[in-house]
Chain A
């Protein structure tokens, strides 16, 4: 709002606290994972303390930024920095998913057929010498080593055909997530028209839909493990399926958490103005991004 000079914050303790939190977090995570077999290991407490410090630091850091904003310290130029910053952050997230989608496309179109003997390169020899019984298909239900090292799944999450479509969880997940993108947009429209009630209601519905999505996804994982025999270690299909949907689910939780905070800010603190609500906009961009990733997942992991 103020057209003055660019706001350069004074010294701040948050960044170094955040760095220490990240240090605790990754030290805790590494030692916990390395000591999974050791019931006496205390590493997990380092991990928890890292999480706790991280959340606390983020809470106070964001609170500070919001205070500065409410005090009118940030110029339009600084707001533009936040806009660009968020956009590039989402781009980096896109590239993170690109690595996993790239892996999926590579194994589906190249690695698995090669393992079954297609193509003229060395893979054909692997097929004949090592795993002659392996046949190329997607989803890969029987691994090249015939389940020697891996647990074979009985059933995949793929499209079950029209007759069973209504009982197919991914379809409902798609409906839920697409609707949530629509409701968050309606909330945005409400805010832009100055209709706080509409904003709160639709944002609340969005957060609810996010929760439903996460619940359905948890149900799907339960089904996979309990009834389909489909696990993380079910070969490359299980690997790509759980990593892609898992990271997506994790991002849904983060996005939903952001939106829930925006809802709380609006309901309890009356934050956000008709023409000044980038915090919400950033969270909603993130939400739309998560939605687009799901559409890609729905097409390439579930349907095709």
Chain B
């Protein structure tokens, strides 16, 4: 017992431990945030490499590079890795770095559990990726793993997939509980709920969504496991179950999940636009209420992913209108960002470029979402490349641009060095052009009827597919530039001031750059 007591008195004074154990045993929110961010970057590159394989195969009609079976494994793993390994851990990493500093807390509320949430992930993705080398290959049923493709017709590796999803879910739930508890319990005196920075608000809501829906996903994969190996019939009509039941449970998780991947982005973009407009955010409380409304609505719109499965008419009408209702709070946010920029003293540093691109391109993705929400129209669009274009517009120039914006915006605070502005701008323009060249044509080929998830296609789709692939290669390889910029910034560069950005507000800018290993050991006073 004495060792425990003696250790703690000088806790807040010393810096990080030396060597690899710093990262293995750490309880420091900044270390863990860094781990999350690097892990997510690695997954982003692996998932991206899979996307390159997909686009290379689709460069021309006909089968050139991979077998259809392998193609299916690629689209499945690309989706799973980008969502659960790329976007979600990146946002958790940002939350780890920023939430305690933004609310004036010394660390996350439960630091050891924080470490556990992170270290589960490398193991979970090791299992998922190792399925590529198993007999029968990796999961090949798409990231939505609909039954019976994922049950009756699944390769044996599906069992490993199920358990890796289980521990990923455990990681997410623990991470989310940590964030909620930190925000509820660790705010410095004076940081009232309606004075919290919007990124903190967005994460409070996101964490709530995570705790609510990750267990539902666990339930879904458990039912799959039982159906496959132990003779239950949840998703088999012959026994009185229903494959559509899988889709209901999955999308009850899946729709809140897409907001889990966009709400933190809303928070980030609000900070960046406010800073580089050198104005107060147009409407803080309306932003908070809009996020809350979106989160609540996310629980009652799931069946809009399933309009073509044969739902009763009343259900289709309900889910159509409920979905369209989401456009209202989303519109509130978009107009808010625009109004914040209106007559501001704008400058366009790299984070601002990404943030403005986010607003424009996310809106495009939102509008195609509205088109998909219309039941009769969705009968036409369902499972075409139009859907692929839609969700990539909200996820790539949406979620991922916001993550990149956040990295450029806060990396001076993390590393103490400014990134190279010229390279940053180059990275932005390459990404911006690449993303649009990749995904905009997919609207056309989707409307023309090209189905998703096929390695081959009719000749009429050839031209736009080639354009799309060229854009994808441009976007993909530009991300190596991003990797280079990040490494260069961490290694050295122009020293950043504590304030970093002229118009930036918030507690994180009051501490030194780079942020000391322990910040706010005693709570700051905020009025």
Give residues in A with beta carbon < 8 Å to B. 5-16, 18-20, 22-23, 26-27, 29-30, 33-34, 36, 61, 64, 67-68, 70-71, 73, 77-78, 80-81, 84-85, 88-89, 91-93, 95-96, 98-100, 102-103, 106-107, 110-112, 114-115, 119-123, 126, 131, 140, 143-145, 148-150, 231-233, 235-240, 242-243
Known: A22-B120, A95-B212, A107-B242. A16 touches B186 (CB 8 A): no
Binds A, one of B4-12, B48-56, B58-66, B382-390: B4-12
Checking B156, B219, B241 against A107 with a beta-carbon cut-off of 8 angstroms, the contacting residue is B241
Residues on the B chain within 8 Å of A140, using CB: 240
Residues on the B chain within 8 Å of A237, using CB: 240
**Is B342's CB within 8 Å of the partner chain A?**
no
Q: CB distance A71 to B4 under 8 Å? A: yes
Known: A89-B177, A91-B211, A92-B211. A239 touches B238 (CB 8 A): no
Checking B107, B164, B220, B234 against A8 with a beta-carbon cut-off of 8 angstroms, the contacting residue is B107
Residues on the A chain within 8 Å of B311, using CB: 121
Q: CB distance B112 to A9 under 8 Å? A: yes
Residues on the B chain within 8 Å of A78, using CB: 109
Known: A111-B245, A232-B232. A5 touches B239 (CB 8 A): no
Within 8 A of A (CB), among B186-235: 186, 211-216, 218-220, 222-223, 225-226, 229-234
Look across to chain A and name the residue whose beta carbon is closest to the beta carbon of B522.
A5
**Can you report 8 A-B residue pairs in the complex whose CB atoms are below 8 A from each other?**
A11-B27, A15-B115, A23-B126, A84-B109, A95-B212, A103-B234, A111-B240, A149-B239
CA gap between A16 and B521 in the complex, in Å: 25
Residues on the A chain within 8 Å of B244, using CB: 111
CA gap between A110 and B244 in the complex, in Å: 11
**Is B132's CB within 8 Å of the partner chain A?**
no
Q: CB distance B233 to A88 under 8 Å? A: no
Residues on the B chain within 8 Å of A100, using CB: 219, 223
A104 to chain B, nearest CB (A): 10
Q: CB distance A111 to B177 under 8 Å? A: no
Closest CB pairs A-B (n = 6): A99-B219, A233-B231, A236-B240, A239-B232, A15-B116, A96-B215
Q: CB distance A107 to B248 under 8 Å? A: no
Q: CB distance A149 to B238 under 8 Å? A: yes
CA gap between A239 and B241 in the complex, in Å: 9
Residues on the A chain within 8 Å of B113, using CB: 15, 85
Binds A, one of B166-174, B415-423, B434-442, B489-497: B166-174
Give residues in B with beta carbon < 8 Å to A. 1, 4-5, 7-8, 11-12, 17, 21-22, 24-27, 105-107, 109-113, 115-116, 119-120, 123, 126-127, 156, 159-160, 162-164, 166-167, 170, 173, 176-178, 180-182, 184-186, 211-216, 218-220, 222-223, 225-226, 229-234, 236-242, 244-245, 248-249, 252, 310-312, 518, 521-522
Known: A64-B4, A235-B233. A81 touches B25 (CB 8 A): no
CA gap between A78 and B106 in the complex, in Å: 12
Among B22, B219, B238: residue with most chain A CB under 10 A: B238
Checking A12, A23, A102 against B112 with a beta-carbon cut-off of 8 angstroms, the contacting residue is A12
Checking B26, B110, B249 against A99 with a beta-carbon cut-off of 8 angstroms, the contacting residue is B249
Q: CB distance B112 to A15 under 8 Å? A: yes
Q: CB distance A239 to B239 under 8 Å? A: yes
Residues on the B chain within 8 Å of A114, using CB: 242
Q: CB distance B111 to A95 under 8 Å? A: no
Residues on the B chain within 8 Å of A12, using CB: 25, 27, 112, 115
Known: A34-B159, A68-B4, A84-B184. A233 touches B177 (CB 8 A): no
CA gap between A231 and B237 in the complex, in Å: 17
Q: CB distance A15 to B229 under 8 Å? A: no
A39 to chain B, nearest CB (A): 17
Q: CB distance B24 to A123 under 8 Å? A: no
Q: CB distance A103 to B223 under 8 Å? A: yes
Q: A81-B182, A81-B186, A235-B239 are in contact. List 5 more A-B contacts (CB 8 A).
A: A8-B518, A11-B22, A143-B239, A235-B233, A239-B234
Q: CB distance A106 to B245 under 8 Å? A: yes
